[in-house]
Amino acid sequence: MNPQYLLFDVGGTDIKAAFSDAAGTLHGIRRIRTQRVASDPAHTLVEQLKTLGAELMAEFPESNPIAVGLLVCGIVDEANGTGVFSANLGWRDAPLRQLVADAFDLPVGFGHDVLGAGVAELRFGAGKELGTAVDNAAVLIIGTGIAAALFVDGRPLSAGGYAGELGHGAVPGGLSCPCGAHGCLETIGSAGAIAKRYEQETGVHVAGAREVLNAREAGDKIAVRIWDEAIAALTFSIAQLCCSIAPQVVIIGGGLAQAGEALLQPLREALGEKLTYQRLPQIVAAQLGQDAGLRGAHLKAVAAGAQST
């Protein structure tokens, strides 16, 4: 094992880091909470990455990395290497690629966390299992919030970093959202919303959407309704996608995807009923789990390493 690439996947909640080798295998995966320092969020992040990098170098003293792969959350301008905006972490137009390149004195492959994870999912995960080339796809990550990686005519869609914000598209029955709008998909369709709504209606604390699914399967009527409303909201938004970018496959990842067929089968049925002449996409589960971001960061690092030689 010769670790060649230093990888970071920066989310609003935590940062994952690892080395990867030329084959893409991950080594020394670790995770820390993302620090939020409103006064200087970009440098705070870089300091956390330097600490993680030093830990990895200590664990693998023989390593001699040739490039960094860095994925971050928020609105990301991949071409310019900037974090345009992160509601969670607070930066605006932060030159993250350059800051990290300076910190490690290495070329940096830079991108958006959900889009990078989606590329990995298509290449190494659920997309690989499909067995056929997929030019048009959506990878929908359903966790606390909802975001998507969109693939159109064979390419990941960036639109300056603004593409794939499906969680903040309105759906019938949607509620008031912290983003300031009303009706956003993630106010009823996300794992976070399912748990929160159940708690609000029943007064019963649940650890997550999984417990609401358990309650549903035990016949709890409130759980049945909240789960059904989430399915309907997700179906609505996926059907909108089928009318605009027409994916051949929708890959469902994130925490809610752990529900498996209890989520996917109702989604398939509802979508089949809702669409008429449109192309009906396959709906499948993501395969890479929480490593998808690091696998995507690996692809970015490989590209940056190849460019610099």
Residues that bind a copy of itself (CB under 8 A): 75, 85, 87, 135-136, 148, 150, 152-153, 155, 157-160, 162-170, 172, 179-181, 236-237, 239-248, 274-279
Find the shortest distance in angstroms from Cβ 260 to a copy of itself. 26
For tokens 């056929």, name the residue. 132
Find the shortest distance in angstroms from Cβ 74 to a copy of itself. 10
- Closest to a copy of itself by CB, 19 vs 151, is 151
Find the shortest distance in angstroms from Cβ 197 to a copy of itself. 20
Find the shortest distance in angstroms from Cβ 70 to a copy of itself. 21
CA dist 56 → 4, 6, 83, 103, 291 (Å): 12, 8, 25, 15, 17
CA 142, distance to chain mean position in Å, is 8
8 Å CB contact between 266 and 231: yes
- Closest to a copy of itself by CB, 66 vs 252, is 252
Radius of gyration of the chain (CA): 20
- Closest to a copy of itself by CB, 75 vs 263, is 75
- Closest C-alpha to 254, from 269, 272, 234: 234
Find the shortest distance in angstroms from Cβ 132 to a copy of itself. 13
- Closest to a copy of itself by CB, 79 vs 204, is 79
- Closest to a copy of itself by CB, 141 vs 206, is 141
- Closest to a copy of itself by CB, 40 vs 273, is 273
Q: Please tell me what DSSP assigns to residue 136.
A: S
Helices (H), the chain: 41-59, 96-104, 113-124, 126-130, 191-202, 209-217, 221-244, 261-274, 292-308
CA–CA separation, 210 and 258 (whole Å): 8
One-letter amino acid at 292 equals A
- Closest to a copy of itself by CB, 49 vs 137, is 137
CA–CA separation, 112 and 175 (whole Å): 27
Find the shortest distance in angstroms from Cβ 232 to a copy of itself. 11
CA–CA separation, 4 and 25 (whole Å): 10
3-class state of residue 79 by DSSP: coil
- Closest C-alpha to 85, from 169, 7, 180, 12: 12
Find the shortest distance in angstroms from Cβ 146 to a copy of itself. 10
Find the shortest distance in angstroms from Cβ 115 to a copy of itself. 12
- Closest to a copy of itself by CB, 53 vs 281, is 281
- Closest C-alpha to 12, from 91, 93, 82, 80: 91
